[in-house]
Amino acid sequence: MRRFADASYTLVLTAWVGALWAIGCIAAPLLFANLPDRTLAGSLAGDMFAVVGWLGLGCGAYLLIFMFARLGAAALRRLVFWLVVLMLALAAAQLFGLQPLIAQLRSESVPRELAEAATKNRFATWHGVASALYLGQSLLGVFAVLAAPRGLK
């Protein structure tokens, strides 16, 4: 039973990190490269990022509960624990803070030709912040996957 539990821990972490990379590095860029309507591409990408955000909340919660159940307070001394905490915090910030803000700014800037320059600048700024945090979460995920085998010992 313990092997199954360890395998589920590894699979959940890998699914979360894989989803981050698949959407951020493959799906979203392909949408913008292949759809002529950038507004549609952005809307679809936003929906996919929201799914990854919810997946991250679920996976992160599972991983933290699993580590506490398995290691008790010793989980607090594991690098992978703190990587998951940071990833979970970034996922929550994206999902509940940045994505609603970006969606609001996007709706204020449509139609494009009538949008104010200030709204466009705010959208670009917050989109850049969201992109940087998403990249950070994706990189933390790589380190979490690499640290995972040692995190349960």
Rounded CA-CA distance 138/153 in Å is 24
Burial state string for 20-34 with b = 16 or more CB within 10 A and e = fewer than 16: bbebbeebbeebeee
The string of pLDDT tens digits covering residues 81-107 is 999 999 999 999 999 999 998 888 877
| This prediction's pTM | 0.87
Q: pLDDT tens string for the chain (153 positions)?
A: 678 878 899 999 999 999 999 999 999 999 999 999 988 998 899 999 999 999 999 999 999 999 999 999 999 999 999 999 999 999 999 999 999 988 888 777 655 554 566 677 888 888 889 999 999 999 999 999 999 877 666
d(CA 133, CA 139): 10
d(CA 67, CA 57): 15
Q: What size, in residues, is the chain?
A: 153
Sign of the CA dihedral 35, 38, 41, 45? positive
